Chains A and B, each alone.
Chain A
Amino acid sequence: MRIRRRTLLQWLLGLPAVLSGRLALGGPLGLSGPADPYAALPAWLDTLIPGSGHLPGARQLDIHRQLLRKTESAPDHARLLQAGCRWAEQQALAEHALSFGELDEAARSVIVARAEQQERRQLPRAFFELTLHDGMDFYYADPRVWPHLGYRGPPQPTGYTGYREAPPQP
């Protein structure tokens, strides 16, 4: 589901409290923060959309770059992505003494699942929903994914003149 603007605004209104450590993020704010505020993003997206069989993963398709490009016209999203990445890094450090990107898929999945289960107004949930929705959009709009689904697109210029034929079954 697309992240609701109301949810995003509610979270942003609470941002000062988040940054001062007064709002619970599942752990105290203790990090000075990585040099790259989005350092966790590729691995986060790769957890949401991993490579599987022949299907490429989000990192392989540079989905994180597309999300970041989108933030150029959406500064609210940029702040949410930064805060979400910071939260992910905090979780990884607190539980494993590693950065989020250094964790294996199973450990990353635990943290992502924790974000998913938070209340809607909480930062981790807002971060989860934004990255999931936009990540999926960019991923499935990538022609490199389509052959693995048996999808021949885009609709033009060739159309689908074989539209009456039975499709191949998996």
Chain B
Amino acid sequence: MKTAEPDYDVLIIGSGAGGGSAAWALTQAGMRVLLLEAGPRFDPQHDYRLDRADWELRSFPVKAGSRRRHTVAGMQALDPSYAHLRSWNKLHGASNTGDRRRPVGYSHVCGVGGSTLHFTGEAHRLHPRAMRMHSDFGVAADWPLDYAALEPWYEQAEDLIGVSGPAGDRQRPRRRGCPLPPHAPAYASARLIDAAQRVGVHFQPNHLVALSQPYDGRPGCNYCGQCRRGCPRDDKGSVDITFVRKAEATGRLTLRTGCAVIAIQGGDRDRIVGVVYRDAQDQEHHARAGRYLVCAGAVETPRLLLNSADSRSPDGLCNESGQVGRNFMETLFWGSSGLFPQRLDGWRGLPADVICWDYNAPDAIPDVIGGVRMSIGTLENDLAGPVNHARRVAGGWGRQHHQRMLQTFGRVITLNGIGEFLPNQDSYIDLDPREADTLGQPLARIHSHLDDMALRRLDFMAGKIRELLRAMGVEELVEEHGSYDLFNCSHVFGSCRMGSDPQRSVVTPGLRSHRWRNLYIMDASVFPSSGGGEAPSLTIQALTLRACAGIAANR
């Protein structure tokens, strides 16, 4: 192992929504920060090749170290009473022909900016009542702070990023509007808004990190629709080109990529004394700081803590409550795609540019606890270009294929829904007893279980989305998929829950470990509840900025 380098004020593990915003907040406060990122850096101008003819054959680029391995435990048997929620494609049949849920994967990016590199770019505040799930509904756990306490930090994050969106929505109070005006809805989205109004459902412009006009030296969006393949223009406010870039500009940030932390070391008097990490050349290093921030996400953070078990923490670091890895929550998802009577050319615009919050409140759906949101999803579901249309919609071959292609291309519309996921005892993260990474560290093993309330929520989403598509005039569905029979998540939460009770939580309301006086967790693993489908990144950033203000005030 190489000898220890100079100490830093703060050492941050992971540079996603939490780690990146922490790096900015703490360097702004004058602190020297070491940011260790296991993945690589991505160069927007060179890595995101949306200018190539074969753009559609490429997903978000994969580089060495940009994907972490994990395993998925055996999945539950499918409840036959919800068989109408099976995933299918009109050409290819059922996506899962078995009688158990099938794992597809946990969609993430490991790199500077984390999963914000490939995300759609939604910038959502949490519904205030989603923070009181236990008090109001007897489920999950309450957040140890309320919406009013978080609002100033939402504003700070929105200002830094340049969030574009409407002045408010019916669900979330706002003291002030967004820094930038909302994007005008795309043609397809405008048709959805009209049809939804006819059946009493309200869609509005979404809050997005894509810029609706030039801001802070970055250009406005040109509506190419491919946020999920990476933005080559810097108009999508991913963490690398916002928080991290500004942190680096202070001169107080040392950012090391390809550096995977393999252990966090606890010392006397409940203080962390350092971390061990491996660099891209497989050299081992030891680093020390006054404070340590773990920001690796709801799968990798518990993994690191559990892998840091030693004689002082036999059950894993920060795990005196037994809650590290527990209460895992995931994206609960449904999507339906069909053919609109005329061309929409839905490849134009922004993904999820309009959203419905009508059913987002925890008690908005009859006989169901936990809300949902719905949004247009053609771009997110990658049904925008000719390759995927041929593969998944037109099908066939020969002249019949050509006819079908000419008749249907440009007419696809997708509606997506994401819903609340309540923590349950069968959904958690632990260490795989058999599978390890190249460094010999046990992999995270994801245990995922849908409870009855999740199935009822899925059922509601599917029914409502199909109703909306019919209202639009869609007569032919071409594809549907959802969480009922497929485990395929991107938003993950809850596995190191925050709370005031050390027996029931891992970190305090200030995101500090209950035990370790200089260790913090700043990612979605601290969420006590998932919300009714809100994208988590803005809430992660707000929580982080708030916690970092506390650190800076007490330095």
Contacts and interface: CB of A to CB of B under 8 A. Distances in A.
Partners in one complex: yes
Interface of A: 1, 47-50, 52-53, 55, 109, 112, 116, 132-133, 136-137, 139-143, 145-146, 148-151, 153-170
Given A116-B397, A149-B409, A166-B187, 4 more contacts: A1-B391, A112-B397, A140-B385, A170-B343
B489 to A, nearest CB: 22
Contacts of B397: 47-49, 112, 116, 132
A156 B50 contact: yes
B interface, over-half SS: loop
A60 to B, nearest CB: 13
Contact of B385 (A109, A151, A156): A151
A132 B394 CA distance: 13
A33 to B, nearest CB: 26
A34 to B, nearest CB: 24
B345 A154 contact: no
A167 B398 contact: no
26 contacts: A48-B397, A49-B398, A50-B398, A55-B402, A116-B397, A136-B391, A139-B390, A141-B53, A141-B54, A141-B56, A141-B386, A143-B53, A146-B386, A153-B55, A153-B347, A154-B50, A154-B51, A154-B53, A155-B55, A157-B51, A159-B221, A160-B224, A160-B348, A166-B187, A169-B342, A169-B343
B398 A140 contact: no
A1 B348 contact: no
B385 A153 contact: yes
B185 interface: yes
A141 B349 CA distance: 20
Interface string B150-194: 000000000000000000000000000000000011110010000
A interface, over-half SS: loop
Contacts of B222: 156, 158-161
B75 interface: no
A24 B398 CA distance: 26
Contact of B347 (A148, A160, A169): A160
Contacts of A133: 391
Nearest to B55: A154
Contacts of B69: none
B390 A151 contact: no
Interface string B185-229: 111001000000000000000000000000000000111111000
